[in-house]
Structure 1
Amino acid sequence: MATGAPLYRAGADGLLRKQGADRDLSTATICSDAALQRLEYPRLKVILAGMTQSEPGRLLAERLLPSLDDGVIVTALDEVDEAVRFLHDGQSPGLGGGRDIASVVEQARAVGSLVAIEDLQKVAASLRVTEDCRRWFRDRNAELALAQVAATILPLGELQRRLQDSIGTRGELLDSASFELGDLRYRIRQVRSRIKQQLDQLLTSEQYASCFQERLITERNGRYVVPLKADCRGQIKGFVQDESASGQTLYLEPTRVLDDNNHLQQLLREEQREVQRILLQLSDLVRRDGRQLLSNQAALSRIDLRFAAARLSRAFHGCRPELVSEPVIEVKQARHPLLLEKDGRIDPVAAVAIDLLMPSGCRALVISGPNTGGKSVALKTTGLLLLMLRSGLHVPCHPDSRMHLFRSLHVDIGDEQSIAESLSTFSGHLVKIRNILEVADAETLVLLDEAGSGTDPAEGAALIQAVLEHLCRQGACAMVTTHLGQLKHFAYGHPQIENAAVEFDPETLAPTYRLSYGIPGASSALATARRLGLPQLLLERAEEFIGREERDHSRLLAELHTRQQALEQQLREARQARSQAEAAQQLRRGQLQQLKEKKRDILGRATRQAEELINSTQTRMKQLRKRSAPTTPQDATAEKALLQEAREELTPFKPRRKRRGTTPEVVQTGELVRIVALGVEAEVVRASGTNVDLLVSGKRMRQPLSALEQFEPRRFVEAKPARKQVSRQLSERHVSTQLKLVGERGEDAVARLGPFVDDALLHGLDKVEIIHGSGAGILRRLVREFLAEHRGVSAFYAAPAELGGENVTIVELGDK
């Protein structure tokens, strides 16, 4: 199905507008109030308002109406998209506590007007919430649409500080509102304390103990008094301010507190004047900043509404379908939003999902089928989803959906009977249709429920056929529900009109509330009556009244629907299987990628560990070389243990050589074998039990049989012809156990040192001495560095003091 052209273009001011729409549409409406009521749009607004956080946001949601300004709609949907992403990430601004202050600003508009403390407290609360909202978005991406809305909130620092210093959390005027007020209240407290102290002394006086009804200080006419027995009148000088209803108690103001009471009244009057002055100042500030206060509240309510719309979208798994300029409706898996509400909560699976399809070229859709099957719900769902999009709200459907934003919606659902206007049900429908035909155009969507009912079926069907033809010529789109067979046949033969039917279970004949397209639906009135429990005898009699042709026609439609449902079920199963296969393939690709990444990670960690270990070992080896040679055998043993420990740390990282041959049980002199650990060939010189003396590159070493590998077939050293000039045999050669290097240059000394150690190893010496002297210590350091690297040296240390000390290095030979 071809995709429609883009609905919007960018204007010079950067706003997105519908192509060809440049009029001011701020006051235009998409449908009548009656249509909003029929589609239960007010109930949707109640749910939306319940998801707001602030009072201004709630009021804005309650006043929400569908808009014809496409730029406003796109902006609203963009902002809802951003709010959904914020909520998905667990982020949202705290907007609770925001109060509506429009009436307060209006009250303060007149010069000299006084704003009550409780209203000023609302202003203070609104300032706190708007400032918190501004700061929250300040830490987000400034290019976001909602962040730009929040940027219009301007801080009113002076007003906020004055209100914070003047009004407490319980709505009282604080002493810090002004210095004069604080001083007056301090003096008032002092006078009150002095009056109470004098009256306490009077009440506790033994002289007048019998004169008082009870020891109580109270107030009458704003003055402190004590309860005096009427019989004791005249015993205490003072003024009677009041008396009890029985006349037994007189409330007396003693003369001793008269001056203080007068002073207190004067201070209280001064306090009232100061309070009045402060409230006038605060009211002037509210009047001065009134315009910005309203602007801040508008931004706050807009942000609150967008986040409420995002919460609603997440609650019913809503999304923003693709908006196209072509008059098509392709809303997949649509659910009626109000059917999702259950016990005050939104259940996204409470309603059956249906596909609402009016493809390109289709101007009218005739929906038929049994009663209680969901025909009217399909109409109401279509209308309400359009209203939601026009209100900047997400709709509960599949993301792969498309919908045109029709600019005019006309609804004829329900009984239009009016006794006051002398209209019958049918007449009421005709009046509504007449009004629709007068204004319908290419941007009109018409929803007609039970079209052609209320009169003779043939005439009603003929009338609706003419209406649908007229609407198609005007370019309007229409969705109608009907039980009239004549109208179903008409839709089947018209190129711009398509049939649809509500599905039902072929076994139970119960409705499934889904729509199938291309085939009309049977009304199945008798089946519905049977399902609802009407008497069987009555149903059998009704079948007798129905003609055989009509029964065959209904049976044929039912059979066609059964086959179509079976084919659609097979198609759904095939699509599901394909989807599962694609998901499995994607999963395998993901797992393979994870394995590759894990392999790279393991290799990287191993490389880093190896590098760290090598660096650590090299550092330790350098430290061992720098240390002076051990002076005692115990020191040499300790250093040998340290070296062995370092080698063991490297053992796990040595490459493991695979054994290619078999482990020999017996070897012969002159046989060639392979040393597995070294991966080199060696000649057997002598076999002694499980140990074998080997010759490797002119050097002799001893290895166990288990460390060797025998070639298959076995290999031996080729016999060499006897030379005419034979040097002395090795056994006859004298090998010294000492090497004197004193006075020689470093390079020459090292050149003599290597052959000396090799000869000692070949002749099986266990220990030799190297005399290098002391001097500057350079020769000694070179000798010991060489010995540390030689594989045949197991340990070396300084000779005892009596044998030369640091001038001589004793070397122990053998495998490391």
Structure 2
Amino acid sequence: MNQKSLTKLEFPKIIEMLTDHASSPGGASFCRRIKPMTDLNKIITAQEQTAAAFTRIVKKGIPSFSGCYAVSDSLKRLEIGSALSAPELLRIGKLLQTTARIKSYGRHENADDQADCLDVYFEQLAPLTPLSTEIDRCILGEDEISDDASSKLKQIRRSINGMNDKIHSTMTGLLNGSMRTYLQDAIITMRGDRYCLPVKAEYRSQVNGLIHDQSATGSTLFIEPMAVVKLNNDLKELYAQEQEEIQVILARLSVDAAEYIEEIRLNYKALVELDFIFAKGALALDMNASRPVFNTEGRIRIREGRHPLLDRKKVVPISLTLGDTFDLLVITGPNTGGKTVSLKTVGLFTLMGQAGLHIPALDRSELAVFNQVYADIGDEQSIEQSLSTFSSHMTNVVSFLNHVDENSLVLFDELGAGTDPTEGAALAIAILSHLHNRGIRTMATTHYSELKVFALSTPGVENACCEFDVETLSPTYHLLIGIPGKSNAFAISEKLGLPDYIIQDAKTHLTEEDESFEDLLTDLEQSRKTIEKEREEVASYRREMERLKSELKNQQEKLDTQRDRIIREANARATDIVQEAKDFADETMKNFRKFGKASISASEMEKERERIRKQLSKTENKNRLEKKKPSKAYKASDFHLGDSVKVLSMNLTGTVNSLPDAKGNLFVQMGILRSQVNISDLELIEEPLTVTAKQMRKTSSGKMKMGKSMHVSPEINLLGKTVDEAVAELDKYLDDAYIAHLSPVRIVHGKGTGALRNGIHQYLRRQKHIKSFRLGAFGEGDAGVTIVEFK
């Protein structure tokens, strides 16, 4: 890949960001060597690895490879039979501990976890736990061996401690004895590895011992008393034995490690590669990036891409296509409008994607595989452009034309600038025509009107512009495909205060064709804005229509369900009444037959007739619908538009839709039903109302106006939406329903794969104002509906 273009497109800065996410020197080295690839299979493999690392990071966090030390030199020494030092063995031990930790990280915790392309790396790891444990037990630090490394070492160090105690005891006795007057200071000191006393020079003959040193002035001699010479000799011998035993221990550990040379080497290789892969995953997470889809047809389709080196809070996403219906895109617009950023975004995304990195754009963005990316981009813009600047750009262009082919992506920033505008525009058109005729994917930015006309009149060439707000004199950074940009020089100059007579004089120097072309661009811009506004309105109306259609369907389903339930209950009740009447009739006939055979008095027959009459009245009263009465008498003035009421005869709640007439009749809206009801059949529903500043808006007269949350629907339809879209719409709906004291409410999400339902349930679990939620029962929508109750 062209190294000069990599620098122009700032790919090295992406490498620096990637390297910062590596936690081992080996992984960082891998990151610094990353380059865009041209083999589609290798690119797809690298993208799969990045995606797998991204998924694991989201689930388990970022693993640390900090203990992954380079041990290749130590392994070579083991191969030739050399013994390793304590620091070398300690690094091998740390490497094996890191191996064990990463091996544990790579295990799938749940049986339903899907395997990914990183499993092969985790399977290669061999923690060698016995060797790692033995090294950790024996070596405490780079210069410290454990007493428990061997029984002999423990015994030697115990002897050393005893000998030290004995020497200190003897020396202390001399300090506090007759030699006290001969000493410069009452201390025990060391010279070399021998214990000595600081003796005044004039008392040299009074102290029997070996002189090891003297002070700079010569007034103090450091003498080893003869009483401790042998003890010092014995101590030195013990130290020598300790070092010999340490070498034996290190040799033993080296022999143990030599048995696993190949496993240790493979561990290191797998760890640094995993560190590199997880660095790519961590960078994707940091950038909020997604995996691009690659093709070999030269097609680029970026969906809301954000340049990764710009502030993510301020950068304006761009959507761009190239190589589908056109292979040459000419971007025009004012300076600082975002043309160069758009150019760099496309080039940098191509390099990142082919290097196996995710790109900061929406998913399903497409990139093509190019063998080379050529970029002629000037990092510095100057009002005065000299011949040398033009020559520099032309040198780059010439080098491109000598090597460019159909599998190349070419990017020009201000093509043809730096020379006479007429000649520059002609050269630019000629160069772009040459590339276009060869089918080479090309993007170019320009200020030349001639290039705008060239793009409008040439098939397979498309205009684009970076939008500019003349009112605020600021760019919006939105890239608009299919529309040439307007220079806005006159409008900007007028806003900045340039006298009107100068602007009018300047316009006289424009040819009639130039002025007509600029007017055409203005009309196109106005038409575009009008069409976009109308398109948004149509989309809004369509969404509202779909919502109303869904609500109507749901209401109809509710009514059908209620109707079926009422019919079933009425049939059951009628059957009971018929059966009861039949039983009573049978009993009555039986009694009268008995009266006919026996001599029964008239008074007894009258009593029986009275009992039958009471039973009939009781049955009639039980089956008659009792008309409920309101809790209190209401007047017509008590009812207002929008009041919540209960229709007693129908046992339904609704909203007052019209004021009472002279007879006390008014219309009540009950869901999709609108019915005329008398006020004697109504009962006002008194609901506590809590209104916050968010639901109340001040009018110009200072009065308070209620928000639309007071008329919220009892359900929301989220069918066909993604989880993110559904959660955003559901969040506002639940706020409105909660404020309107509407509980419970229904969330219609459908069954499908269950992804939308699971996403909604995860969101509901985090809401503190929700008391409970459950799936709908039979007749409520089953698993396609969730019922929510508020606290």
TM-score range, shorter chain: 0.5 to 0.7
Q: How does 1:51-130 map to 2 (within 5 A)?
A: 51-89=21-59, 91-92=60-61, 94-102=63-71, 104-105=73-74, 108=77, 111=80, 115-130=84-99
C-alpha displacement at 1:162, in angstroms? 3.9
Is the alpha carbon distance of 1:568 and 1:537 closer, same or farther for their aligned partners in structure 2, counting shifts above 3 Å? closer
Rounded Cα–Cα distance in structure 1 between residues aligned with 2:521 and 2:309: 32
Matched, 1:368 2:369: no
Q: How does 1:137-156 map to 2 (within 5 A)?
A: 137-140=106-109, 143-156=115-128
Q: How does 1:192-591 map to 2 (within 5 A)?
A: 192-205=164-177, 207-279=178-250, 282=253, 289-340=260-311, 347=312, 349-414=313-378, 424-525=388-489, 527=491, 540=503, 543=506, 546-547=509-510, 549=512, 550-551=514-515, 553-572=517-536, 574-575=538-539
Matched, 1:184 2:156: yes
Is the CA contact (8 Å cut-off) linking 2:304 and 2:319 kept in structure 1? Answer: yes
Amino acid at match of 2:276: L
Q: Which residue is equivalent to 1:164?
A: 136
Rounded Cα–Cα distance in structure 2 between residues aligned with 1:424 and 1:463: 17
Is the CA contact (8 Å cut-off) linking 2:320 and 2:481 kept in structure 1? Answer: no
Amino acid at match of 2:521: L
Amino acid at match of 1:85: T
Rounded Cα–Cα distance in structure 2 between residues aligned with 1:572 and 1:538: 41
User: Equivalent pairs: percent with the same residue?
Assistant: 32
Matched, 1:44 2:14: yes
Is the alpha carbon distance of 1:335 and 1:213 closer, same or farther for their aligned partners in structure 2, counting shifts above 3 Å? same
C-alpha displacement at 1:317, in angstroms? 2.3
Rounded Cα–Cα distance in structure 1 between residues aligned with 2:544 and 2:430: 48
Is the CA contact (8 Å cut-off) linking 1:373 and 1:512 kept in structure 2? Answer: yes
Rounded Cα–Cα distance in structure 2 between residues aligned with 1:591 and 1:132: 57
Q: When the two structures are aligned, how many residues end up with a matched partner?
A: 590
**3-state SS of the aligned residue for 1:241?**
strand
Rounded Cα–Cα distance in structure 1 between residues aligned with 2:79 and 2:371: 42
Q: Which residue is equivalent to 1:759?
A: none
Is the CA contact (8 Å cut-off) linking 1:313 and 1:394 kept in structure 2? Answer: yes
Amino acid at match of 1:52: A
**3-state SS of the aligned residue for 2:145?**
coil
Amino acid at match of 1:385: F
Rounded Cα–Cα distance in structure 2 between residues aligned with 1:281 and 1:110: 15
**3-state SS of the aligned residue for 1:52?**
coil
**3-state SS of the aligned residue for 2:423?**
helix
Q: Which residue is equivalent to 2:729?
A: none
**3-state SS of the aligned residue for 1:487?**
helix
C-alpha displacement at 1:394, in angstroms? 1.2
Is the alpha carbon distance of 1:252 and 1:585 closer, same or farther for their aligned partners in structure 2, counting shifts above 3 Å? farther
Is the CA contact (8 Å cut-off) linking 1:104 and 1:115 kept in structure 2? Answer: no
Rounded Cα–Cα distance in structure 2 between residues aligned with 1:589 and 1:189: 92
Rounded Cα–Cα distance in structure 2 between residues aligned with 1:115 and 1:541: 87
Is the CA contact (8 Å cut-off) linking 1:191 and 1:260 kept in structure 2? Answer: yes
My pick for the range that moved more, 543-552 or 494-503, is: 543-552
Matched, 1:35 2:5: yes
C-alpha displacement at 1:151, in angstroms? 0.6
TM-score by length of 1: 0.64
Is the alpha carbon distance of 1:280 and 1:443 closer, same or farther for their aligned partners in structure 2, counting shifts above 3 Å? farther
Is the CA contact (8 Å cut-off) linking 1:94 and 1:129 kept in structure 2? Answer: no
Q: Which residue is equivalent to 1:706?
A: none
Amino acid at match of 2:226: T
Q: Which residue is equivalent to 1:723?
A: 596
C-alpha displacement at 1:204, in angstroms? 2.9
Is the CA contact (8 Å cut-off) linking 2:68 and 2:271 kept in structure 1? Answer: no
**3-state SS of the aligned residue for 1:168?**
strand
Rounded Cα–Cα distance in structure 1 between residues aligned with 2:585 and 2:186: 120
My pick for the range that moved more, 148-157 or 537-546, is: 537-546
**3-state SS of the aligned residue for 1:84?**
helix
Larger radius of gyration: 1
Name the Cα RMSD after superposition: 4.3
Q: Which residue is equivalent to 2:785?
A: none
Is the alpha carbon distance of 1:572 and 1:433 closer, same or farther for their aligned partners in structure 2, counting shifts above 3 Å? farther
**3-state SS of the aligned residue for 2:297?**
coil
C-alpha displacement at 1:192, in angstroms? 1.9
Amino acid at match of 2:293: E
Rounded Cα–Cα distance in structure 2 between residues aligned with 1:329 and 1:496: 15
Is the alpha carbon distance of 1:725 and 1:540 closer, same or farther for their aligned partners in structure 2, counting shifts above 3 Å? closer
Rounded Cα–Cα distance in structure 1 between residues aligned with 2:503 and 2:300: 42
Structure 2: which 5+ runs fail to align? 563-568, 605-791
Is the CA contact (8 Å cut-off) linking 1:130 and 1:300 kept in structure 2? Answer: yes
Rounded Cα–Cα distance in structure 2 between residues aligned with 1:281 and 1:539: 93
**3-state SS of the aligned residue for 1:424?**
helix
Rounded Cα–Cα distance in structure 2 between residues aligned with 1:51 and 1:588: 54
Rounded Cα–Cα distance in structure 2 between residues aligned with 1:488 and 1:478: 15
Is the CA contact (8 Å cut-off) linking 2:69 and 2:94 kept in structure 1? Answer: no
Rounded Cα–Cα distance in structure 2 between residues aligned with 1:38 and 1:136: 39
Rounded Cα–Cα distance in structure 1 between residues aligned with 2:171 and 2:552: 92
Rounded Cα–Cα distance in structure 1 between residues aligned with 2:480 and 2:361: 17
Give a deviation string over 1:71-127, Cα, whole Å, max 9, x none: 2221222222222322333x1463242233156447637736565533433322221
Q: Which residue is equivalent to 1:134?
A: 103
Give a deviation string over 1:718-754, Cα, whole Å, max 9, x none: 966853555999x9xxxxxxxxxxxxxxxxxxxxxxx
Rounded Cα–Cα distance in structure 1 between residues aligned with 2:414 and 2:62: 47
Give a deviation string over 1:300-331, Cα, whole Å, max 9, x none: 22323333322322333211122222211111
Is the alpha carbon distance of 1:558 and 1:165 closer, same or farther for their aligned partners in structure 2, counting shifts above 3 Å? same
Is the CA contact (8 Å cut-off) linking 2:213 and 2:222 kept in structure 1? Answer: yes
Q: How does 1:643-662 map to 2 (within 5 A)?
A: none
**3-state SS of the aligned residue for 2:309?**
helix
**3-state SS of the aligned residue for 2:596?**
coil
Give a deviation string over 1:644-698, Cα, whole Å, max 9, x none: xxxxxxxxxxxx999999xxxxxxxxxxxx999x995699xxxxxxxxxxx9998
Amino acid at match of 1:111: I
C-alpha displacement at 1:369, in angstroms? 0.7
C-alpha displacement at 1:389, in angstroms? 0.9
Rounded Cα–Cα distance in structure 2 between residues aligned with 1:590 and 1:291: 68
Rounded Cα–Cα distance in structure 1 between residues aligned with 2:391 and 2:547: 57
C-alpha displacement at 1:513, in angstroms? 0.8
Is the alpha carbon distance of 1:682 and 1:493 closer, same or farther for their aligned partners in structure 2, counting shifts above 3 Å? closer
Is the alpha carbon distance of 1:551 and 1:117 closer, same or farther for their aligned partners in structure 2, counting shifts above 3 Å? farther
Rounded Cα–Cα distance in structure 2 between residues aligned with 1:130 and 1:584: 59
Rounded Cα–Cα distance in structure 1 between residues aligned with 2:547 and 2:238: 83
Is the CA contact (8 Å cut-off) linking 2:163 and 2:235 kept in structure 1? Answer: yes
Is the alpha carbon distance of 1:118 and 1:543 closer, same or farther for their aligned partners in structure 2, counting shifts above 3 Å? farther
**3-state SS of the aligned residue for 2:476?**
strand
Q: How does 1:684-695 map to 2 (within 5 A)?
A: none
Is the CA contact (8 Å cut-off) linking 1:503 and 1:561 kept in structure 2? Answer: no
Rounded Cα–Cα distance in structure 2 between residues aligned with 1:391 and 1:458: 40
Amino acid at match of 1:384: L
